[in-house]
């Protein structure tokens, strides 16, 4: 928004202000589109599996439409200048996730498994809770700058949330990772998903205050700005924290997410490339160090380097090996460019976690490369809108918070998609909005709610000039 000109361009520039218009009708049109696509997919799955339009089509369509409609009306009323794309993109991903989870529910191969439960109705309930939290965020959080007051409280809250699964009697060790807590009568929740948002608030508040010290007090060495030793304190602390998560909860994904988010926000706050170099070196050192003694992590690395060997060992009945990585790769391969069509793939052969960690493999098989690219682009668009919001935000706290939240979202998608495609070692994380999992869906709707709140503040036009009552009273009458 600056119009600084240098002497050589005198007499050459014209400045015109373009205000950000309210785009609620665009949002509504896109939302209708975003509801129709999953309904189409649902009918397609039904026709492919049972030769008939599924009986729940109307109810499902109305349910999704109702959620989207409520979200839209609340945004229209309470955040009228918000970004028009965030809500439709999230709705589309949530709807497609529901369809694919329902499609995997219909699989006879999965139904015979002892752990089988009908996941789609629950996921619909979680989505409704998620939209309720989204509405709650928009109603209660009138101005995101309020969060700035809770910088250090957020730090404690995030630490408590992260440590809860380690409390004896409360934590639940599920398949090698201790990231769930059990609440009697309610089921399990994954506090790490919520900690992600809370800790972004802490990082934003902390870096906003400390960024000058971190950016300016540094020595130049070999083209890099080296920070002073005492300024390294916070990054070392966060690093130690994520290593501890890795060791005690054996959760590679969450630890990568937190450390990565901190490095991203540190870079954005200080504009120093050296932080990225440090961050990459430290995370590499940490990961290698932990992998050298933690068997759960070792096994993941082994499956990453040699998925076929893991698959064969698992089929021979050797304990401690997993065949999923190889099966996911086969699923992607048999999908090809255009896919086998919804409901016509065999990705349900990935028995365990087919509808949560490995749900992208089903997309890969049934929608092919074309479909997966579209899905990844939709994630990319959500992240882009988040970063655009950060650029437009007028206050540094809002900028950092928007960058942190969209960075966390991007990292999570990368960690999951990269893991399933065997680009990086697999970690147990959920694909936002798409994968089955209550905590993930609910937390990500809250994340989108905060982004919409920041973008509403950022794009709201400046108030129109009001006549100043003081000026009227103190008029100077000149002779």
Partner 1 sequence: MSELTLTVMRLGFLAVLWLFVIVAVQVIRSDLFGTRVTQRGSRRDSGRAQQASRQAAPPQQRQQHGGGGGRQRRGAPTKLVVSEGTLTGTTVALQGQTITLGRAHDSTIVLDDDYASSRHARIYPDRDGQWIVEDLGSTNGTYLDRNRLTTPTPIPLGAPIRIGKTVIELRK
> Which range binds partner 1 by CB under 8 A, 8-16, 150-158, 167-175, 350-358?
8-16
Under rule CB under 8 A, residue 97 binds partner 1? no
Tokens matching residue 440: 């993930």
Phi and psi (nearest 5°) for 17?
-85, 135
- Between 320 and 336, name the residue whose CB sits nearer to partner 1: 336
Among 28, 89, 133, 162, binds partner 1 (CB under 8 A): 89
Under rule CB under 8 A, residue 8 binds partner 1? no
How many Cβ atoms are within 10 Å of 115's Cβ, its own excluded? 8
Are the C-beta atoms of 165 and 181 separated by less than 8 Å?
A: yes
> Which range binds partner 1 by CB under 8 A, 202-210, 422-430, 446-454, 470-478?
470-478
Q: Which residues touch 388 (CB under 8 Å, ≥6 apart)? A: 83, 455
Under rule CB under 8 A, residue 114 binds partner 1? no
Site string for partner 1, 361-400 (x = CB under 8 A): ------xx-xx--x--xx--x--xx------x-x------
Q: Among residue numbers 29 through 68, which ones bind partner 1 (CB under 8 A)?
A: 30, 33-34, 37, 40-41, 44, 47-48, 51
Dihedral sign, Cα of residue 25, residue 31, residue 32, residue 34: positive
Under rule CB under 8 A, residue 341 binds partner 1? yes
Min dist CB 126 to partner 1, Å, is: 23
Among 339, 428, 438, 449, binds partner 1 (CB under 8 A): 339
Under rule CB under 8 A, residue 460 binds partner 1? no
Q: Among residue numbers 119 through 178, which ones bind partner 1 (CB under 8 A)?
A: none
Are the C-beta atoms of 186 and 234 separated by less than 8 Å?
A: no
Q: Among residue numbers 417 through 436, which ones bind partner 1 (CB under 8 A)?
A: none
Tokens matching residue 11: 């007499």
Among 8, 24, 26, 148, binds partner 1 (CB under 8 A): 26
- Between 202 and 379, name the residue whose CB sits nearer to partner 1: 379
- Count CA atoms closer than 13 A to 315's CA, side-chain side: 10
Min dist CB 117 to partner 1, Å, is: 28
3-state secondary structure 23-49: CHHHHHHHHHHHHHHHHHHHHHHHHHH
Under rule CB under 8 A, residue 12 binds partner 1? yes
Per-residue CA distances from 437 to 37, 254, 442, 451 (Å): 22, 15, 9, 22
Among 8, 114, 115, 464, binds partner 1 (CB under 8 A): 464
Under rule CB under 8 A, residue 92 binds partner 1? yes
DSSP letter string, 253-322: HHHHHHHHHHHHHHHHHH--HHHHHHHHHHHHHHHHHHHTT-HHHHHHHHHHH-HHHHHHHHHTT-TT--
- Between 7 and 184, name the residue whose CB sits nearer to partner 1: 7
Min dist CB 74 to partner 1, Å, is: 20
Min dist CB 234 to partner 1, Å, is: 28
Are the C-beta atoms of 346 and 365 separated by less than 8 Å?
A: yes
Min dist CB 433 to partner 1, Å, is: 15
13, burial (CB in 10 Å: exposed 0-12, middle 13-18, buried 19+): exposed
185 conformational bin, left if phi > 0, alpha if psi -120 to 50, beta if neither: left
As a whole number of angstroms, the distance between CA 283 and CA 19 comes to 42
Under rule CB under 8 A, residue 294 binds partner 1? no
- Between 184 and 465, name the residue whose CB sits nearer to partner 1: 465
β-bridge mates for residue 171, sequence order: 181
How many Cβ atoms are within 10 Å of 318's Cβ, its own excluded? 10
Are the C-beta atoms of 299 and 320 separated by less than 8 Å?
A: yes
Count of chain residues binding partner 1 (CB under 8 A): 64
Among 186, 222, 319, 462, binds partner 1 (CB under 8 A): 462
- Between 300 and 385, name the residue whose CB sits nearer to partner 1: 385
Write out the residues near partner 1 by the rule CB under 8 A: 1-5, 9-21, 23, 26, 30, 33-34, 37, 40-41, 44, 47-48, 51, 84-85, 88-89, 92, 338-342, 344, 367-368, 370-371, 374, 377-378, 381, 384-385, 392, 394, 459, 462, 464-465, 467-468, 471-472, 474-476
């Amino acid at each position: 928004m600056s119009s600084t000109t240098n002497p050589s361009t005198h007499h050459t520039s014209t400045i015109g202000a373009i205000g950000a218009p309210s785009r609620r009708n665009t949002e509504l049109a896109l939302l209708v589109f975003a509801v129709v696509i999953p309904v189409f997919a649902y009918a397609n799955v039904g026709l492919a599996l049972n030769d008939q339009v599924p009986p729940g089509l109307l109810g499902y369509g109305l349910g999704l439409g109702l959620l989207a409609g409520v979200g839209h009306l609340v945004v229209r009323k309470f955040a009228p200048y918000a970004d028009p794309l965030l809500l439709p993109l999230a709705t589309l991903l949530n709807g497609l996730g529901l369809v694919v989870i329902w499609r995997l529910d219909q699989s006879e191969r999965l139904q015979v498994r002892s752990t089988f439960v009908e996941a789609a109705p629950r996921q619909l309930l979680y989505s409704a809770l998620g939209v309720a939290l989204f509405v709650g965020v928009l109603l209660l959080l009138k101005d995101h700058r309020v969060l700035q007051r809770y910088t250090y409280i957020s730090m404690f809250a995030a630490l408590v949330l992260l440590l809860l699964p380690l409390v004896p009697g409360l934590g639940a060790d599920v398949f090698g990772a201790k990231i769930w807590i059990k609440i009697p009568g309610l089921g399990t929740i994954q506090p790490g998903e919520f900690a992600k948002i809370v800790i972004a608030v802490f990082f934003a508040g902390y870096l906003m205050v400390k960024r000058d010290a971190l950016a300016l007090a540094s020595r130049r060495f070999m083209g890099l700005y080296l920070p002073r030793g005492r300024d390294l304190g916070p990054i070392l602390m966060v690093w130690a924290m994520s290593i501890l998560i890795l060791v005690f909860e054996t959760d590679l994904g969450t630890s990568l997410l937190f450390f990565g988010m901190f490095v991203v926000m540190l870079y954005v706050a200080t504009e120093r490339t050296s932080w990225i170099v440090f961050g990459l070196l430290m995370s590499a050192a940490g990961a290698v160090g932990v992998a050298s003694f933690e068997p759960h992590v070792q096994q993941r690395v082994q499956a990453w380097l040699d998925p076929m060997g893991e698959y064969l060992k698992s089929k021979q009945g050797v304990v401690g090996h997993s065949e999923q990585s190889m099966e996911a790769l086969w699923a992607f391969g048999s999908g090809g460019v255009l896919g086998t069509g919804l409901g016509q793939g065999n990705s349900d052969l990935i028995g365990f976690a087919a509808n949560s960690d490995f749900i992208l493999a089903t997309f890969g098989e049934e929608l092919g490369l074309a479909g997966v690219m579209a899905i990844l682009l939709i994630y990319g668009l959500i992240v882009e809108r988040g970063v655009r919001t950060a650029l437009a935000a007028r206050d540094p706290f809002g900028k950092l918070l928007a960058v942190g939240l969209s960075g966390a979202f991007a990292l999570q998608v990368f960690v999951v998609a990269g893991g399933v495609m065997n680009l990086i070692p697999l970690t147990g994380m959920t694909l936002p909005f798409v994968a089955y999992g209550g905590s993930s869906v609910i937390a990500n709707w809250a994340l989108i709610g905060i982004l919409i709140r920041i973008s509403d503040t950022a794009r709201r036009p400046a108030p129109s000039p009001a006549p100043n009552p003081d000026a009227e009273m103190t008029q100077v009458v000149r002779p």
